[in-house]
Structure 1
Amino acid sequence: MKFLYIVLLSVLSSAALAQQQKNSDLDLAITWQPLENNFLKDEQGLSVLTIKNVGKATLPKTGWKLFFNFIRVITPKTANQPFEVAHINGDLSCFMPAKNFGGLKPGESLTYEMLSNSWMVNTSDAPQGFYLVWDKSKEIVPFKAVAFVAPPDQKKFFRVGGDVETTPEMIYTANQNIADISESKLTKVFPTPVGYVENGKTLTLTPDVTIGYEPGFESEANLLAQEIGKLFGKKIGASKLGKANPTISLLKNDAAHEAYTLNISEKGVVIKAGSSAGAFYGIQSLKTLIDPAAFASNKNKSIILTGVDVTDAPRFGYRGFMLDVARNFQPKAQILKLLDVFALYKINTLHFHLNDDEGWRLEIPTLPELTSVGAKRAHLKGDGGNLQSAYGSGPYIDQLPGSGYYSKEDFKEILRYAAARHIRIIPEIETPGHARAAIKAMDKRYQTYLAKGDKAAAEQYLLRHLEDKSVYRSVQKWNDNVIDVALPSVYNFLETVTDDIIEMYKEAGAPLETIHFGGDEVPKGVWEQSPAFNALKQNGSNIKTTTDLWDDYFGKVSAMLKKKGLYLSGWEEVGLKKAVENGKSKWLVNEKFSNQNVQVNVWNNLLGNEDLAYRLANGNYKVIISFVSTFYFDMAYFKKFEEPGFYWGGFTELDKPFSFIPYDYLKNQQKNYLGRQLSEKVLKEAEKLTATGRNNIVGLQGQLWSETIKNTDNLEYLLLPRLLALAERAWSRSPDWAEENERTKAKQLYENSLSNFYNILGKRELKRLNYYAGGFNYRIPTPGLKVENGKVSANVQLPGFAIRYTTDGSIPTLKSQVYTQPISVNDQLVFRTFDHQGKGSSVSKLNDR
C-alpha cells in the first residue's frame, strides 16, 4: 500500500510539474488595432485583435478561458470567429474557444474582429489585462500588456465630420500668437496676486537666515524654516519675534481670511496676515519668488530675491481638486507629494474620492470587510473574498494599482499633513450608485456571520435586498452596483462609516465640515423590483415612486449629517429631479434640498445642460463648478491616437481651464464636446446667473478620475501643468479680458494674458516643478510644425522650452540639433520638445497628418 501511495504521489507530482511547465511555456502576444467608427452607419466601432503564440506550448482547442478588461461591450463581427465572448460585469469579459477553434501552435497567429458598442478614439479605449485560466486546474497564466497599432484609415476612424486627429500644423497655428516675453518682465509670484510691484530692491538670503513670528503663526514659520533649510542643506530656526530683527518676519494684522501682504526689501521679508492661512499663502508666494533653479540643490550658498510689494487675497474661498483613488489606487507618499504642490499653488481643498465600484480605499475599523474585500482586486475564485479585475489590474491580489487602501493611521497622517498646509480634505463616500465595492464587502460580512448562525449581525449592514430582481445597467456596465436605499440596514452602514470617519478627523486634529455622499449616475431600473421598496409603498408612507425614494434617501442622509454638525455635499444629481418637457427628459432643480446649505459639484455642462450650474446656483444650492469639458483632467489634452486620457467630455488643452470665466462661461466657451459651435438657440436660452446665484458659486474644482492612471507618472502627466491653470482661475481676480465686452479688444487682451501665463510656466514654474517635492512628471508640449516655401518652421506652446530635431528619422535626444530657424523640408525630419531638465515630449513629424 505504501508503495502504491508513493507511485500515485509520483504520478500526481509529475502531472503537476507538467501542468506548471505547460503554463510557463504558454505565452501570447496580443495586439489591438481599431479599424472603423460608425461601422455599418451605426454608433459602433470595428477593431481587430491579433493574438500570436510566442511561447513554447500550444494553446489547446479547449479547457481554458481568456479574461480581459475592455470598457466596451463587444460582439464578434461575424459568426465564424475563433472565440466566443461573454461580458461578465463592469469592464470584465472573457473569451472561450469556439467550436471551430483548432488550437494555436507556437509561432501561429489568429485575428479576432469585433464590434464595440461605442466609438473608439485613442489607446485608452484598448482592451487590457489579458490572462488565461485553465478550466480544471484553475491556474492562471498572465500575459504582457497589449500592443497598439494606429488605425490604417483616419477618415474611417473619424466619429463625425471634421473629427480630425490633431496635426503638427494645428499645433503650430495654436501656438503662433504666443509671444516670447523676457523673464525680467514676468510677475514672479504665482498665482497672479491682486497687487504686484517690483520696488527695485533686492535681498540676499544666506544659510544664516532667521525667521521670526508673532503668536499664531508658529506652525507656518516652522514649515517655512524646513523649506528654506532644504535649499541650504542646513537646519534653520524659527522663533517668536523679539528685539532682534529677523530676515523674515511673520506679523499679524486685520486682513481678511487667506489675505496677506508681502514686502521684500534690502532690510528683509515681511509677511502680514490676519489669519494663519493668510500667513501661509504669503509664504507660498515668497517661495515662488525664489529662482526655480535654486530648488535643484540643497547646497545653495545664497539666494537673491527680487524686491516686491504684494497685496493679495483669493477670488474664491473654495479652490478644490478631486482625486479618485478608487478605480486605481495611489500610495500615501504620492498623496503627500500632491498636497505639497496643491499648497504651493494655493489649492485649499482635496475632495478625496475614496470608494467606487472598483475599490474601497479607507479603513473603517468597525467594518473591516470594506478593505479586506473591497480594497482588493484579483481573479474571482467564487468565495467573495475580493473584487474582480478592472482596468487591466490583472489576476493577482495585493498588486498596485488595483489593490490598496489607507489604514486609519495612514489617513490620519494625510489629514495632519493637509491641515498643516491649510488644505481641508472632504471625504467622498459614493452612494447610492458607484457602490459595488461596499456592496460586495457587506455581502461577505453577511456570509461570515450567517455561517456563525448570527442572522441579526449578518443583516445589520447589508446593502442590497437578497431577493431584489431589479434589472439595470450602469454607464460603466455594472448590474449590481447600487445600494438599496429602502433597506434600514443601509442607514446603519452609513452612520457607522460616518462615525468612524469623524473619529479619525478628531484624532488627527483636522477640520471636518462635510462628507460628500456622491449621488451621480444612478441608472434606470434600480429598486423597482426590490421587496424593501414595495414594502415601503404598501405601508402608507409617502414613498410611491423611485423618485420619492431618492428624495427620502438624501433627506435622511442630510438629517444624519446635521445631527453630527456636518452638512451634505454631493454631485449635481443630489439637487436635481427629472421631468419630461416636450417629450424629452430634462433635469430640473429639486426644491427639496435648496436653501439648506447643500453643496453640489456640477460636472455636467453637456448636451442641453450647458446652464445647469447657474440654474442650481439660482435655485439656492451652493455650487462648485467642476465641469467635465473644462476641469476633468483625465480627459486627453488633444485628439491623437497615442495621447492618453479619455475624451467623452471633450479634449482639455492647457488653455481650456485658463480661459474659463466663472460667472459667464458661455461668453467664450461655446463649443460642445465634439468641438462644434453651440447653436444660437442654446446660447440665447441658457439661463443667466442672478445676483443670488452669483453668491452661491462657492468655487472651482478640478477632477482627476483614475480609470486610465496606472502609476504616479500617469497621474502627474495628466495633472500638470493643467493644475496651474485651475489655480490661476480659482485664486486670481477676474482678468481684464473676461471683463471686456468689445470682442476685438477682449481677444487681444486674452492673447497677451495667455502668453504671459505660458511664459511663467515655461520659464519659471515648470522649471521649479522639476525639483519641488521630489520633482513631477508634467506633460511637455509637442512641437508645432508648418511647411512654407520649402522650409519647415517649428514652435512650442511654452516659451523657454527647447526644440531639437533630427534629419534621419531617429528620435531626437539632448545631443540632437537645437531648432533656431526654419530648415529645408526633409521627409525624415523629426522634432521634439525638451524641458530644462532634459525630459522630452512626444515627437512631431511632417507626415503626422
Structure 2
Amino acid sequence: MKYLLSVAFCSISTFTSCFAQVDNQKPEAQELQVTWELLDNYYQNKNQTLSAVTLTNTGKAALPAKGWSLYFNASPSFKPKETAGAVKVEHVNGDLLRLVPTEKFESIASGASQSIEFTSAGRLVNFSQAPDGFYLVWDDNPEVGVPVKNTVKKPAGSVSNDSFVSPETIYNKNRNIQDIPAEKLTKVFPTPAQYSETNQTFTLTAAVPIVAENAFRSEADILATHLATILGKQPAVQSSGKGKVICLQKKKGLQPEAYELQVSSNGIIIAASTPAGIFYGTQSLITLLPPAALATTQKAVSLPGVDITDAPRFGHRAFMLDVARNFQPKQQVLKILDLMALYKLNVFHFHLNDDEGWRLEIPALPELTQVGGKRGHTLNDKKNLVPSYASGPNVSNTAGSGFYSKADFIEILQYAKARHIRVIPEIETPGHARAAIKAMDARYERLMQEGKKQEAEQYLLRDLNDQSAYRSVQHWKDNVIDVSLPSTYDFLETVVDEMLQMYKMAGAPIETIHFGGDEVPSGVWEKSPSVQALIKNDPSVNNTGDLWFYYFGKVNKMVKARNLYLSGWEEIGLRKEKQNGRTVYVPNPDFADENFHVDVWNNLWGAEDLAYKMANAGYKVVLTNVTNFYLDLAYQKDYDEPGLFWGGFLDVDKPFYFIPFDYTKNFKEDTNGDPVDRSKFKNLQKLTVFGKSNIVGLQGPLWSEKITSPERMEYMLLPKLLGLAERAWAKDPAWATEPDEAKSVKLYNQAWSDFVNTLGKRELPRLTYYAGGFNYRIPTPGAKVEDGKVQANVQLPGLTVRYTTDGTEPTTKSKEYTGPISAKGSIKLKVFDVKGRSGRAVTIDNK
C-alpha cells in the first residue's frame, strides 16, 4: 500500500573547510546554512547514492567542535562515508536521524564551511528524497530544537548512471496527440454514456430560475450558489415556474445515480429518480458551461444544446486523502470535496491516523489529539510525537501538527453528504498506529500519577513488558498495537462509537469503517507476555501468525454488531502460504464470505493479479493499483519533479489507460519507467464472471509524506484525478475491448487526444477559477531538433508554449511557439496556462 523504500539520500562532499578555536559564544541556528548536493546516483557502480552535506557558518561565533546535534529526516541508510569520520549518524525512529560530531570534528569558524560525504541505499531520482527538516539541539538544552531555516538543495547537475526524462522523450510521447478544435470536443466531463449536440443554444442569465420539488431542494441550492459565482447574482430557487427555467424533475425507472440532461432553446431539464442522479445532472451542467465564463462575472452565458443520458460504470468512485503524515486544514478538505463532486466521485476515504499523527478529536480520549495530533522535538513522546517528513522541531508547524475537532468533522460530513459523497473513515490498525500508541501511553502515565491504575490500563495499546524487536517499512520500531490485549478492543469500541455519534449528529450515512491492516512487520508480538498468555489459553491461537485472524475476526464482529461491514487494505483478506519453497500471500477463505471490502494496491513484484485473485475468491475489491492510481507518485523521472517513485512514475495517462477488468493488457512500463514485456503476464489469473461481479470500483490514494501544503497537494492531485474520474464513471472505451492490437492502438490514440484536449481546453481552464482556483500541475514541453530547427509540443493542447533564445527564463511576454524555431544556440521553453502560471522550463541546444 504505502511502501517507502530506503531510497537514495544524500552524501556530503568535502568543500573548503576552515577551523577555529571554540568560542564561548554559540552561533544561532539561523546562522547555520545546510547545503545538500547529489554527487553520484550509482556510487561505486552499486545500488547506492553518494551525496554531500555542507555546513556553512554565516554567524560571528564559531560552531563548536562538540556539544550539539543536528537532527533531520531521511532514510536510516544515510551514513557518513567511511573516510569521513568527523560525524556519526544515529537513527532515532521512523525517518528521524541525528548527526553528532565525533572527536575528529573541528569547529567551524565564522564564514567557513565543512562538508561531509554520505552514502545511502538505493538511488535518488528527485529532490523529494533529499534530507530535510534540519534542526539544531545543544547538549546543555536537550529538550529544545531550533530549526535551521537556511537550507539549500543544489540542482542535480551531472549525475552518473541515471537517465532522466528528456525534452526529446516528452516530445516523442506527445507526438501522436492531435490538436482538436474546442467546438468538436464533448462538452460534459466525465464522458457521458450517451451524448449528442443539437443546433439549439440556450442563454443563461441570473433571471432564469431553478424549479425543483422539495426532494431536490438541496441540489438546486448548490447549483444556484455556483451559478452566482458566474452570473454575479444567485438565481431564484422555486417549486414551480413556466417558461425558460432550469427544471429539476423526477423521472421513475432510472438507475439510482443516472440522470438525463436536455438543453434546448426553451430551457434546461435535468431528470432523475433520486437526488443523487439530479446532483450529477447539475454537475454535468456545470461542466457544460464555457470555462472562460468563470474568469469574470457574466451577464449572460450561452450554452450549447445537448441531449444526454448518463449513468456511472462503477458505484464506488473513490479518492483517499492521507492527512496523518502531513495535515490539511478543514477548508482544503471542503475544497477537495467540491472537486470530487464536480467530477462525480462519490467516496471520500479519509485516512485519519498513522504513525505520524492522529487527526480526529475523540472527546473521551483527549490525548489522541493533544499528543498524537502534534509533532515536534521530543526526548520521550510524552507531549507530542517526534518530527517526521520535515515537520521540524516546533509543534506549531501546520503540516506536522493539526486535527479536526468534533465540530469540524461533523461539518465535513454534512458538506460531503450534500454532495452525495460517502465518507469512509480509516482507523489504521494494528500497524501504522504509533500516534495512537503514544497517545494512550501518555494517558496511562497521567492516570497512574493520579493513582487510577485500573482506569489507566483501560485503553493501553501495548504490553508494557513486551521486548519484541522489529522495524516497519517506514523504519518505526514501536508502531504496532498489541492485539492480544482486551484494552485494545476497549479502545477501538470507544473510538468507533464516538465516531458513529458524529455521523449521527451530521445526519450522514455510514456503511463501513476502514481498519487499515497493512504492513505489519515480522518480529512483532513475539516477546509480549500478553500474547504468550493468549497462545497458552486460547486454542484458536497457536502462534503469532494466528493473531492476524484473531484480530480481524474480533474487529469484524465489532463492526457487524453496529450494522457495518469491514473495509481494509488487501492484507485483511490474505494469509501466508508456502509455495515452491517460498512464502506467498493468498486469499484467506475464512473471511471470503464476510463482505470484506479490500482496497488492493499491490500489482507489482509477482502480485500483478492479486486483485483478481481476491475478487475471484469472493472479496469485494476496490482497484487501487499503485501503478495507475497512486497520485502521490512523481509525474515523471526528473530530478526537479516532486513525489515518490517506489511504485513507478504516474503521469496523466496512467489512470486514463487503466482497464479495470484486464489491466495487464495496458501495462506499459516498470517502476523505473522502462518498457515492460507484457508476455510475462500471460499465465496470470484472469477475472472470472463471479470475480467481475466483486469489483466494486476504483480508488486513487494521495499519501502525504511529501505533501506539506495545500498547493503541493493540488499539484500532485491534478490533473491526474481527472483520469481516475473518467475511468470510474465512463463506460469501457472501444480501445480497451478491441482484440486487434493495431486497431486498439489507433483507437487509443484518438481517445487520448480527445481526453487531453478536453483537459487543456475545458477542464484545466475551469479549474483555474473553480472553488477559488486549483494549483494543478502544468506539464513540461516536449522539444526536439529536427532538420536544424527546434520542434515543440505539449501534452495538453490549449496550454501555451513560450520560449526564449537568449538563455533567460520564458515569461508571459516571451514569444509564443507557433512553429519550428530556426534560432541557434540554447532554446528555453515553458508551458503557460490561461492565467499566466507556468510549469518548469526545458532547455534544448540547436547547434
Superposition TM-score, scaled by structure 2 size: 0.95
Partner Cα distance (1:364, 1:171) in 2: 49
* Match in the other structure for 1:465: 463
Distance verdict in 2 for CA 1:795–1:680, change over 3 Å: closer
Partner Cα distance (2:233, 2:559) in 1: 47
Partner Cα distance (2:43, 2:483) in 1: 41
Q: Give the SS at the match of 2:840.
A: strand
**Structure 2 unaligned spans of 5+:** 1-22
Q: 2:526 aligns with which of 520, 525, 528?
A: 528
Q: Give the SS at the match of 2:530.
A: helix
* Match in the other structure for 1:295: 294
Partner Cα distance (2:340, 2:416) in 1: 10
* Match in the other structure for 2:114: 110
* Match in the other structure for 1:209: 208
* Match in the other structure for 1:686: 684
* Match in the other structure for 2:714: 716
Deviation at 1:25, TM superposition (A): 7.2
1:49 aligns with 2:48: no
Within 5 A, what are the aligned runs for 1:204-603? Answer: 204-241=203-240, 244-245=242-243, 247-254=245-252, 255-297=254-296, 299-382=297-380, 384-603=382-601
* Match in the other structure for 2:819: 821
1:191 aligns with 2:190: yes
1:154 aligns with 2:159: yes
Deviation at 1:54, TM superposition (A): 1.7
Partner Cα distance (2:485, 2:806) in 1: 68
Of all paired residues, the percent bearing the same amino acid is 54
The answer to whether the 8 Å contact 2:828/2:841 transfers is yes
Partner Cα distance (2:305, 2:609) in 1: 45
Partner Cα distance (1:576, 1:564) in 2: 24
Distance verdict in 2 for CA 1:390–1:346, change over 3 Å: same
Q: 1:792 aligns with which of 790, 793, 807?
A: 790
The answer to whether the 8 Å contact 1:790/1:825 transfers is no
Partner Cα distance (1:20, 1:317) in 2: 68
Letter in 1 for 2:86: P
Q: 2:626 aligns with which of 628, 647, 653?
A: 628
1:83 aligns with 2:87: yes
The answer to whether the 8 Å contact 2:360/2:406 transfers is yes
Q: Give the SS at the match of 2:160.
A: helix
Deviation at 1:148, TM superposition (A): 1.9
The answer to whether the 8 Å contact 1:648/1:673 transfers is yes
The answer to whether the 8 Å contact 1:72/1:118 transfers is no
Deviation at 1:790, TM superposition (A): 1.5
Distance verdict in 2 for CA 1:80–1:112, change over 3 Å: closer
Within 5 A, what are the aligned runs for 1:143-182? Answer: 143-144=148-149, 146-156=151-161, 158=162, 164-182=163-181
Q: Give the SS at the match of 1:280.
A: helix
Partner Cα distance (1:583, 1:32) in 2: 44
Partner Cα distance (1:846, 1:525) in 2: 52
1:96-125 Cα offsets, whole Å, 9 max, x none, are 111011111111111111121332211111
1:15-67 Cα offsets, whole Å, 9 max, x none, are xxxx9984537612112122233434543222111121122221101111111
- For structure 1, which segment, 616-625 or 542-551, has the greater mean C-alpha deviation from structure 2 after superposition? 542-551
Deviation at 1:246, TM superposition (A): 5.3
Once superposed, which parts of structure 1, at least 4 consecutive aligned residues long, lie more than 4 Å away?
Answer: 676-681
1:666 aligns with 2:664: yes
Q: Give the SS at the match of 1:840.
A: coil
Deviation at 1:620, TM superposition (A): 0.4
Letter in 2 for 1:111: S
Letter in 2 for 1:313: A
Letter in 1 for 2:168: E
CA-based RMSD of the aligned residues comes to 1.7
1:521-559 Cα offsets, whole Å, 9 max, x none, are 110111111111100111142101222110010000010
Letter in 2 for 1:760: T
* Match in the other structure for 1:14: none
Deviation at 1:79, TM superposition (A): 4.6
Q: 1:809 aligns with which of 807, 810, 813?
A: 807
- For structure 1, which segment, 251-260 or 580-589, has the greater mean C-alpha deviation from structure 2 after superposition? 580-589
Q: Give the SS at the match of 1:842.
A: coil
Q: Give the SS at the match of 1:419.
A: helix
- For structure 1, which segment, 490-499 or 77-86, has the greater mean C-alpha deviation from structure 2 after superposition? 77-86
Partner Cα distance (1:119, 1:263) in 2: 55
Partner Cα distance (1:848, 1:547) in 2: 62
* Match in the other structure for 2:5: none
Partner Cα distance (1:67, 1:586) in 2: 39
Letter in 2 for 1:469: Q
Partner Cα distance (1:111, 1:81) in 2: 12
Letter in 2 for 1:75: K
Q: Give the SS at the match of 1:460.
A: helix
Partner Cα distance (2:791, 2:701) in 1: 36
Superposition TM-score, scaled by structure 1 size: 0.95
Partner Cα distance (1:734, 1:464) in 2: 48
Distance verdict in 2 for CA 1:788–1:225, change over 3 Å: same
The answer to whether the 8 Å contact 1:85/1:95 transfers is yes
The answer to whether the 8 Å contact 1:433/1:521 transfers is yes
- For structure 1, which segment, 244-253 or 684-693, has the greater mean C-alpha deviation from structure 2 after superposition? 244-253
Deviation at 1:710, TM superposition (A): 1.0
Letter in 1 for 2:33: A
The answer to whether the 8 Å contact 1:374/1:438 transfers is yes
Partner Cα distance (1:120, 1:86) in 2: 21
Partner Cα distance (1:622, 1:428) in 2: 17
* Match in the other structure for 1:3: none
Letter in 1 for 2:151: V
Deviation at 1:502, TM superposition (A): 0.2
* Match in the other structure for 1:10: none
The answer to whether the 8 Å contact 1:626/1:701 transfers is yes
Partner Cα distance (1:202, 1:469) in 2: 74
Equivalences, count:
824
1:749-781 Cα offsets, whole Å, 9 max, x none, are 000000000100110110000000000000001
Q: Give the SS at the match of 2:701.
A: strand
* Match in the other structure for 2:71: 67
Q: 2:101 aligns with which of 64, 82, 97?
A: 97
Distance verdict in 2 for CA 1:56–1:681, change over 3 Å: same
Distance verdict in 2 for CA 1:737–1:383, change over 3 Å: closer
* Match in the other structure for 2:771: 773
Partner Cα distance (2:171, 2:76) in 1: 34
Q: 1:617 aligns with which of 615, 618, 621?
A: 615
Deviation at 1:627, TM superposition (A): 0.8
Within 5 A, what are the aligned runs for 1:648-667? Answer: 648-667=646-665
Partner Cα distance (2:664, 2:495) in 1: 40
Distance verdict in 2 for CA 1:305–1:54, change over 3 Å: same
The answer to whether the 8 Å contact 1:657/1:722 transfers is yes
1:142 aligns with 2:121: no
